A and B are shown apart, each in its own frame.
Chain A
Amino acid sequence: MPDFEKVYDVAIIGGGNAAMCAAITARQAGASVIVLEHAPRAFRGGNSRHTRNLRAMHDGPTSVLTESYLEDEYWDDLLRVTGGNTDEKLARMTIRESSRVMPWMMQCGVRFQPSLTGTLSLSRTNAFFLGGGKALVNAYYATAEKLGIVISYDAEVLSLDLDDGFAKSVAISANGFPQTLRAKTFVVSSGGFQGNIEWLKKYWGEAAENFLIRGTPYARGRMLQNLLDQGVQSVGDATQFHSVAIDARAPKFDGGIVTRLDNIPFSIVVNQQAKRFYDEGEDVWPKRYAVWGRIVAQQPGQIAWSIVDQKSEKLFMPSVFPAITANTIRELAGKIGLDADALEQTVNDYNAAVQPGEFNSQKLDNCHTEGLEPPKTNWARKLDTPPFICYPHRPGITFTYLGVKVDEQARVIMADDKPTANLFASGEIMAGSILGRGYLAGFGMTIGTVFGRIAGQEAAKHARN
């Protein structure tokens, strides 16, 4: 049990990538550091455990990145996905700094793998962690322990005492026991609130009960709420989250990457009324998977079923959950609890609307429907070859956008635009400043690493003055 009587130079709230980057950087700058991680040791690391790579600017090939990825292209990519919902100054600073973090990460024991195989071709823009995010988290914790950082697992920070922009102490539940910890500075890296269904219900009503949370159940937004309640300035739309339509049979929390399903472009997707509701072939899957979480969230019961026939069976990775198969559409309707007449009607209408064309699973092939609402604009083939294969989908929430505002020193900003004196933030809790909307693979880890480093540096500097 750590010493909660001691006044540390820096107290880190959270235990994911951003928290550990802040902790190690502060310690390397000479500060005494304690990490307060809500999760038990086995589930430490927040959602960083589920990450896989970091988007890094680079002006030439490196051992793990191909070609080059320069600031302007990076910025353009960010501008495109956020629709301008970003802060150019913070964003460009993050992008430039991303070109400098990898050597430091490697010194901390993070290992990268050479450009990868597989479906996502991100080897030019993203550096992949050997073994993924948990291996990265393990490396940071091992480094932290070696440096003498105190790590307290099962330590949920309940509130922070913020007095006129000055953070004095935090109230903690440590292994179930109440504790108060004072520190000279605090870094809050406790993530978003996607693990808090009650909070999501404020915006989504009962529908939120049907959402699946893809990552850690410990991202409950307790500190986020606490800081906003005390007059900290917020960024990002509270009602928004990033989500993907995942297999509906995934566990409520922490199902992770393996619950994804990439069969939608080759399928028709129906809701509880056995009706189609969106163009399944609108674009290639890497550009559409992030859309479907929201679309399914808007359907009754927050559930939908994708149906393919035998022709398309080998075009996608099978779900880890067994396919629901049937030899007739009526039989399938019975198995998934839909009205058989209605489903048959939907399939017949769709089949009748499919136009002849040259099917090509690898690109937009213009195999489309005519006179069908909504249309299917690519990969439209008749569903006529049994067995029919079906998967249920539900929205899987990845992260929320609401956060606290920070400046370039990672200082938390109050509602009156004044910076706090000794309170810094890094990671998902402030990422909404830079990624206000949309999704850019590996950018969350970039923000967490860059701002974790800045927050750690600044907190140590402040504490030692």
Chain B
Amino acid sequence: MHATEATQAAQRSIDICNACRYCEGYCAVFPAMMLQRAFTTEDMSYLANLCHNCNGCYHACQFSPPHAYGINLPQQFAEIRVESYAEYAWPKGMGSAFARNGRAMLTLTAAALAFVVLAMLLLVPNAALFGALSGAGAFYRVIPWGVMASFAGVTLLFSLVALLMAARNFWRDTASSLTRTISFSAIRTALSDAATLRYLGGGHTGGGCNDLDASFSHTRRKLHHVLMYGFFLCFASTSVATLMDHFLGWQAPYSWYSLPVVLGSLGGIGMLIGCVGLIWVKIATDPAPVARAVLGGDYALLLMLALVAKTGLLLLLFRATPAMGMLLALHLGSVLALFLALPYGKFIHGILRFTALLKAAVEREGRSVTGS
């Protein structure tokens, strides 16, 4: 990680934090910080990605602005996180996508939608595109299964590889000093920390975090859960559908009570609630600890996820009508955009956060062994 204004400002803050330590009970960042006396830019990258942006340390800080020290870790860490996404992006040149991420993501979405819609208008006969189709294989009469599956498969596979490469770059940059090997229990701890969003929980007292102001709530944590598990349900729905189609020969559309539709409906509704809720939290929250420059990318991912969920649900509702063809185009276009965007937008935070949690878990095991 190279030094930037944000990393330098945060280094100065962290020196003050490390001399204070009042926030040690909030999250994993402060115990990790306390293992060291001096901090490199790589440490800043690690700590920034370990930060869940709960704002606890901001509201509890006796040195937060307008105090002369002006400590504002949530804001500084948010800026560093985006810089680190650019730094670790694979392939390397793609890091520039993070410079104005909101605009990049929306451009990508528009382009993907336009591409799919135009391609279908040009290639699909009007009767299939604007007719009310029904029965097994209805969707594939609009777009052949092979085309759909290969587009989705290739883009998703590429994006997953890019995400893993970014995580690897991050790990190499920040965890090279680890002397311990990664144990199964550390992986289990990190998975559990990520799956439960432990560090949005408010420590052992469990009061939640400062979503909107200095008071504590679980709103953001719950909304993120609904969004994240909604996303996983949709992913499960697609996977189940692929298996059913490919191995059992049962072609979509499936009945309302079939497993893919139930999973997808629940997931889609969850994603919509989560996206709308998180956008509301971002608008309503105290702006002081917010990094305005990175908000564009945050909103873009939420809007893209919401678009995927919404077009998916609409497609389900109107699949037996002449609107199906165009809804299918919009849904597939938004899915294509999302898949392409995974490694080059806010979505990357998930895998880097998990990687940081893994490092923290390994470090913690080291501490309990040496008892220091």
Residues from chain B with a CB closer than 8 A to the CB of A118 are 21, 24, 34
| B214 and A257 contact, CB distance less than 8 A | no
Stretch at the interface among A126-134, A153-161, A236-244, A365-373: A126-134
The answer to whether the Cβ of B23 comes within 8 Å of any Cβ in the partner chain is: yes
The answer to whether the Cβ of B67 comes within 8 Å of any Cβ in the partner chain is: yes
Q: Which residue of B lies closest to A134 (CB)?
A: B62
Task: Decide: A132 near B15, CB < 8 A? Known: A42-B66, A314-B37.
Answer: no
Residues from chain B with a CB closer than 8 A to the CB of A186 are none
The answer to whether the Cβ of A50 comes within 8 Å of any Cβ in the partner chain is: yes
6 more contacts with CB within 8 A, not counting A133-B22, A254-B67, are A50-B62, A109-B215, A111-B203, A131-B59, A135-B60, A258-B69
The answer to whether the Cβ of B26 comes within 8 Å of any Cβ in the partner chain is: yes
| A131 and B56 contact, CB distance less than 8 A | yes
24 pairs, A vs B, C-beta closer than 8 Å: A42-B67, A43-B67, A50-B62, A109-B215, A111-B202, A111-B203, A111-B207, A112-B205, A118-B21, A118-B24, A130-B60, A131-B57, A132-B23, A132-B62, A133-B62, A134-B59, A134-B60, A134-B61, A254-B68, A257-B20, A258-B20, A260-B19, A314-B37, A320-B15
| B24 and A116 contact, CB distance less than 8 A | yes
| B68 and A256 contact, CB distance less than 8 A | no
Question: In the complex, which of the residues A113, A251, A318 contacts B25, with contact meaning CB atoms closer than 8 Å?
Answer: A113
Q: Top 4 nearest A-B pairs by Cβ distance?
A: A131-B60, A132-B22, A113-B25, A135-B60
Residues from chain A with a CB closer than 8 A to the CB of B24 are 113, 116-118
Total A-B Cβ pairs within 8 A = 89
Question: In the complex, which of the residues B60, B65, B207 contacts A132, with contact meaning CB atoms closer than 8 Å?
Answer: B60
B interface, CB within 8 angstroms of A: 15-16, 18-26, 31, 34, 37-38, 56-57, 59-63, 65-69, 202-205, 207, 214-216
> Within A314-330, which residues are at the interface with B (CB < 8 Å)?
314, 317-320
Residues from chain B with a CB closer than 8 A to the CB of A131 are 22-23, 25-26, 56-57, 59-60
| B203 and A113 contact, CB distance less than 8 A | yes
Residues from chain B with a CB closer than 8 A to the CB of A312 are none
Question: In the complex, which of the residues A111, A142, A256, A317 contacts B63, with contact meaning CB atoms closer than 8 Å?
Answer: A256
> Within A25-48, which residues are at the interface with B (CB < 8 Å)?
42-43
| A49 and B62 contact, CB distance less than 8 A | yes
The answer to whether the Cβ of A376 comes within 8 Å of any Cβ in the partner chain is: no
The answer to whether the Cβ of A114 comes within 8 Å of any Cβ in the partner chain is: yes
Q: Which residue of B lies closest to A45 (CB)?
A: B62
Residues from chain A with a CB closer than 8 A to the CB of B22 are 52, 131-133, 257
Residues from chain A with a CB closer than 8 A to the CB of B69 are 258
Q: A449 → chain B, closest Cβ, in Å?
A: 18
The answer to whether the Cβ of A272 comes within 8 Å of any Cβ in the partner chain is: no
Task: Decide: A318 near B37, CB < 8 A? Known: A131-B26, A135-B60.
Answer: yes
Residues from chain A with a CB closer than 8 A to the CB of B207 are 111
Q: B5 → chain A, closest Cβ, in Å?
A: 19
Residues from chain A with a CB closer than 8 A to the CB of B68 are 251, 254
Q: A50 → chain B, closest Cβ, in Å?
A: 6
